[in-house]
Structure 1
Amino acid sequence: MAKTTTRPAFKCTECGWTSGKWVGRCNECMTWGSVVEEGAPKLASVRSSIPVAKAVPISQVSADAAARTLTGVGELDRVLGAGVVPGAVLLLAGEPGVGKSTLLLEVAARWAKAGRRTLYVTGEESAAQVRLRADRTDALAEELYLAAETDLGTVLGHIEEVAPSLMVLDSVQTIGTAEADGSPGGITQVREVTGALVRVAKRRGMAVIIVGHVTKDGAIAGPRLLEHLVDVVLAFEGDRHSGFRMVRATKNRFGPADEVGCFEMGEQGIVEVPDPSGLFTSRHAEPVPGTCVAVTMEGRRPLLAELQALVAPSPLPQARRTMHGVDTGRLAMVLAVLERRCRVKLYDRDVYVSTVGGAKVADPSADLAAALAIASAATGHTIPHGVVALGEVGLAGELRRVPGTDRRLAEAARLGFTEAVVPAETGQARDRMPTMRYGLRVHAAATLQQALDAVGLVPRRGSGPAPSADVG
C-alpha cells in the first residue's frame, strides 16, 4: 500500500540538504542563499518491475561489445589502457589554461579523421572561436561536428541528430537543465547533467569525454558523486611557465590507474612526448659541482630528472633553505642526515635545490640524488659524467631500496648513462649484487657515506657539523 511521507519544508538547491526551518546558509555545502521552501508533500511508493533483459551467467556475456578503439593520440591511449571502451564516460579535469580544450580538440579531430563521427560541444566558447583554434592546430575533419550549447536538452538533441561515436563536452560546469534546481555549475546541476550523459552513453554505446573544472586547492569541482558516476577520471597537470604537460589516471575501470602520458604545449598546439626524460636533464661540456641525475617513476614509466644544488656562505643568522620542484620536508631531512651522519658542513650555509625543466619530483627515490648534488656543491667536487643515483635516505644514514630498480636502470642505460649508485640494505646484499647491469657499472652502497665515497665526494677536513653537547 502506498505510504505518504512528509518532507522537510526547506531544501538546499545546491547539495540537497534539508531543514525543518529556513536558514540563510546551508549547513552541508556552506552556500549562502541556497535554502528554499519545498512544495507540497508527495506520494512515495516502491514497486517491483519486470526486468527488460534476464540475468545470465557472466561466462556467457560476450566481451566483443567492449572492444577498445584507439583515439589516435598515443600518450592518451597509453593512460587509458590501449584506447577507449564504447559507452565509457571519461572526466578530464585540470587548472584553467593548462590546455584541456586544446588536447580534446586534437583527440576529436584524430577520431574524426579515422572516419568516425564525432561531436564537440562547447559551452565556454563560440563555434567561431573553436574553429580558429582548429585552424591553428590543424584539427579540421569532415566527420567532426561542432555545437555551442549550454542547455542539456539541446545537447541531447544534437546527439540524437548527429549520432556520434565520440562526444566531447567542454565543460560540464557550463551546461544547465530546467529539470534540476540551482544554476549551471552547482552541485545539483552537475550531478543531473552528468547522470543524463552517462545514461545516454551506455544506451547508445557512445564514448563521452567531459571536461571538469578544479577548485583552487586542486580538487575536482562539483559533488564527489561526479567521480563515482564516470568510468575514468584523468587529471591534466602542468605549469603555466613550462610547456610540459602530464595526463594522469586517478580512476580507470578498464585499465591501470597508475599510468601517465606526457605532452608538450607549443605554438602549434599540443604534441606528444613519448620520451620525456630529455626535458628534465641538461648536458654540460664540463662536469659541474652540484648536479646529479635521479630516476623517478611516474606511474609505471621511469623518468630521468636532474637535480641541481648550490651551497653558499650565508650572511644571515639563519641560513636559507630554498627548494623548487622537490619536497621541502624530504630535503630538510636529507640536509640533516648529510650534516649529522656524513659531516658535510651546512648549518651556516645557504642551500638552494632545484630541478631542471620544471619537473616536480616527489618520489623518495630522488633522496640519494639530492644528497649527492648537495654534497657535491658543498665540497666543490664534481660527480663524474654518466652517473645516476636512486635510493631513499633514512634518518640513520642508511639507504633503502625503491620499487622498480631494474626498470629504472634499464631506462638510464638506454639514455647513455654508464654508472649507477643504488642501495644495498645489507652487506650480504651488496656482495651478491652484480657490478654490471644493463651495461651500467653498479655501485651498491648500504649507507649514504658509502654512496658519497663511491662517486668521490669525500668531505674536506673540518667540514663537519658544529660541535654539540653529549646527551645522557
Structure 2
Amino acid sequence: MAKQKTAFVCSDCGSDYVKWQGQCGDCHAWNTLKEIRLGPAKGSGRAGASVADQRKGFAGALDSARVLKEIDLDAVPRISSGAGEFDRVLGGGLVSGSAILIGGNPGAGKSTLLLQTMCHLAKSMDALYVTGEESLQQIAMRAKRLGLPTDALRLMAETNVEAIVAAVDELKPRVLVIDSIQVVHTDELTSAPGSVSQVRECAAYLIRYAKQSGTVLLLVGHVTKDGSLAGPKVLEHMIDCSILLEGSEDARFRILRGQKNRFGAVNELGVFAMTEQGMREVKNPSAIFLDRGSEPASGSAVMVVWEGTRPLLVEVQALVDDSQLGNPRRVAVGLEQNRLAMLLAILHRHGGLQVGDQDVFANVVGGVKVLETSADLALLLAIVSSFRDRVLPTDLVVFGEVGLSGEIRPVPNGQERLSEAVKHGFKWAIVPKGNAPRADIKGMRVTAVAKLSEALAALE
C-alpha cells in the first residue's frame, strides 16, 4: 500500500513545509502549521478519463497558445447583481467563471445580501443557493419576511462537496452560492469540516468546476476574533475577489469593502443599511457620515478620503483630556494606533503643542476605517480644536498627509476631493500646496499650505 503524502500548511500565510515545526518561517506565527493530505486533483488523471478531461486544469480547460490582441474581451460580459453598491465593489458586476469570497462577522448580513442578490438574478437566469448552516425552511421564512420573489430561485441543503458538484452539473446554474465554505466537506479526507485540509480541498474543487463551466461562484466565509478569514490563508490566493462585510450587530449601516479583486479596483467601498426589508444600498454615503450634531462642538473636523474609485466625506473626532495616569492613553478607533502617536510627536515638534500629559482619543464617525494618510491633517486639526476648546468652522473640509519634518504632502485625486466637498456645501478647504487647484472653484475658498505651522496659523 502506497504511503499517503502529507504536508504542513500555515493557516495565516499559506506557506507549506514537509514537516511540522512550531513557528512559520515566513510570517513568524507560532502553532499555525496544520497537516493536510496531498493527493491527485479531483477529475484529473483518473482511470478511464479522456485526454481532454485529464488536461483540464485549475483555471479551466487548457487550450493552445494565442496572441494577446486576438483574445475577445466581449466574451466576458458583466452580470448585474441588482445592487449598485455591490456592483461597485465587484468592479462593475459579476464575471462568469469567477470565484468570489464574502466574509464577515456572524450577523453582519452576508446571507441576507446574497439571498436578495440570488432572488434578483433568478428572474433572468438559473441560480442555485446551497446552504449548509440553515434549513430550507429558515431561508424561505427569511425570503418571505423580506418580501423577495420566491418563484425562481432553487435551494439545496447539502454539505458534501461531491454531492454539490453532482447537483450543479445536472442543474447547470449560472450563479452558485455556497453558504458557507467552512461546513462543506469531502469524503476523501478524514478531518472535520472547517479544518485547513477540508476548506482548502473543497474550495479548490468548487473553484475548479466554476472555472471549467463558467459558473459564478460565491463563497461565504467566517472570520476569526481578530477579523481575519477563518481557514487557510491560501484560500485568499485561490479566489478572484475577496470582499469583507463590516459592521457590528447593533449598527444600522454595513460597509462592504473589497480586499482583493482581479476584475476591478481594490479597497472599493459599498455602504448598505440594514432595514426590516433587508439590505438597502446607500447611494450617497457621505451624507450619512456627515450627520453632525445640531450644535457645533470642538474636536470635530471633516475630511475627504479616497475609497476605491470615489471620494468619501467623513467626520473625524478627537478628545484631549487631562490624564490621571502616569502613562497617558492613546486610543484610535477607525485609524491606525501607531500613526496617532507619530502625529502627536509631529504636533509637539513642529506645531508647538505639548499633549504629552493628556489622554488623546480619536474616532472616525460611522464606523469607517480610514487606511490612507490623507487623514493626517484633519486629525491634527481636530486634536488642536479639542485641546484649545475652539470650534472649527462647520463649512471647513481638510485633507493632506503630514510628514515627519512637518511638511504637508499632496495626496492623489485632489481635484475630485474638492469637487465632492463643493457638492455637499463646504465653502472652505485647507489642502496641501501640491493639491492647490489651478483655477478658482466656484463657491469655495481654498487655502494651500506647505507646513503644519501654516495650517495652524490659518485657523487663528
Q: TM-score, normalised by structure 1?
A: 0.82
CA displacement at 1:384 relative to structure 2: 1.6
How many residues align? The count is 435
Matches within 5 A, 1:382-401: 382-401=391-410
Q: Does the 8 A contact of 2:35 with 2:197 survive in 1?
A: no
Separation of aligned partners in 2, 1:435 and 1:203: 53
Q: Does 1:199 align with 2:242?
A: no
Q: Does 1:86 align with 2:90?
A: no
Q: Deviations over 1:194-215 (max 9, x none)?
A: 2222232233322111112223
Report the counterpart of residue 221 of structure 2 in structure 1: 212
- Aligned AA (1:447): K
Q: Does the 8 A contact of 1:87 with 1:205 survive in 2?
A: yes
Query: Structure 1 residues 13 and 139, CA, compared in 2 at 3 Å: closer, same or farther?
Result: farther
In structure 1, which of residues 445, 448, 454 is the aligned counterpart of residue 449 of structure 2?
A: 445
Separation of aligned partners in 2, 1:313 and 1:347: 10
CA displacement at 1:332 relative to structure 2: 1.9
CA displacement at 1:228 relative to structure 2: 2.9
CA displacement at 1:53 relative to structure 2: 5.3
Separation of aligned partners in 1, 2:402 and 2:114: 41
Matches within 5 A, 1:157-172: 157-172=166-181
CA displacement at 1:379 relative to structure 2: 1.8
Query: Structure 1 residues 148 and 314, CA, compared in 2 at 3 Å: closer, same or farther?
Result: same
Report the counterpart of residue 3 of structure 1 in structure 2: none
Q: Does the 8 A contact of 1:422 with 1:443 survive in 2?
A: yes
Residue segments in structure 2 that go unaligned for 5+ positions in a row? 11-15, 40-44, 56-61
Q: Does 1:103 align with 2:113?
A: yes
- Aligned AA (2:316): L
Separation of aligned partners in 1, 2:260 and 2:294: 44
Q: Does the 8 A contact of 1:93 with 1:212 survive in 2?
A: yes
Query: Structure 1 residues 248 and 438, CA, compared in 2 at 3 Å: closer, same or farther?
Result: farther
SS in 1 for 2:78: coil
Separation of aligned partners in 1, 2:151 and 2:257: 30
Q: Does the 8 A contact of 2:36 with 2:197 survive in 1?
A: no
Residue segments in structure 1 that go unaligned for 5+ positions in a row? 1-5, 39-43, 457-472
Q: Does the 8 A contact of 1:11 with 1:17 survive in 2?
A: no
Report the counterpart of residue 117 of structure 1 in structure 2: 126
CA displacement at 1:164 relative to structure 2: 1.4
- Aligned AA (1:72): G
Bigger CA radius of gyration:
1
In structure 2, which of residues 269, 283, 286 is the aligned counterpart of residue 274 of structure 1?
A: 283
Q: Deviations over 1:345-390 (max 9, x none)?
A: 4233333322222222232111111111111122232212210011
Report the counterpart of residue 296 of structure 2 in structure 1: 287
Separation of aligned partners in 1, 2:345 and 2:398: 19
Q: Does the 8 A contact of 2:161 with 2:184 survive in 1?
A: yes
Report the counterpart of residue 415 of structure 2 in structure 1: 406
Query: Structure 1 residues 247 and 200, CA, compared in 2 at 3 Å: closer, same or farther?
Result: same
Q: Deviations over 1:287-330 (max 9, x none)?
A: 32221111111222211111222333344444443333222222
Separation of aligned partners in 1, 2:24 and 2:291: 53
Q: Does 1:70 align with 2:80?
A: yes
Separation of aligned partners in 2, 1:436 and 1:26: 58
In structure 1, which of residues 146, 152, 155 is the aligned counterpart of residue 164 of structure 2?
A: 155
CA displacement at 1:454 relative to structure 2: 1.4
Q: Deviations over 1:56-89 (max 9, x none)?
A: 4444443343111111111111122221122222
Query: Structure 1 residues 230 and 343, CA, compared in 2 at 3 Å: closer, same or farther?
Result: closer
Report the counterpart of residue 460 of structure 1 in structure 2: none
Report the counterpart of residue 42 of structure 2 in structure 1: none
Q: TM-score, normalised by structure 2?
A: 0.84
In structure 2, which of residues 314, 336, 339 is the aligned counterpart of residue 330 of structure 1?
A: 339
Separation of aligned partners in 2, 1:13 and 1:448: 51
Q: Does the 8 A contact of 1:91 with 1:209 survive in 2?
A: yes
Report the counterpart of residue 379 of structure 1 in structure 2: 388
Q: Does 1:255 align with 2:259?
A: no
Separation of aligned partners in 2, 1:31 and 1:355: 33
Which stretch shifts more, 433-442 or 275-284?
Answer: 433-442
CA displacement at 1:450 relative to structure 2: 1.1
Query: Structure 1 residues 156 and 74, CA, compared in 2 at 3 Å: closer, same or farther?
Result: same
Q: Does 1:139 align with 2:152?
A: no
Q: Does 1:307 align with 2:311?
A: no
CA displacement at 1:169 relative to structure 2: 0.6
Query: What is the aligned-residue identity percentage?
Result: 42
Report the counterpart of residue 354 of structure 1 in structure 2: 363
Separation of aligned partners in 2, 1:167 and 1:10: 32
Which stretch shifts more, 202-211 or 364-373?
Answer: 202-211
Which stretch shifts more, 234-243 or 204-213?
Answer: 234-243
Separation of aligned partners in 2, 1:393 and 1:32: 41
- Aligned AA (1:228): H
CA displacement at 1:244 relative to structure 2: 2.5
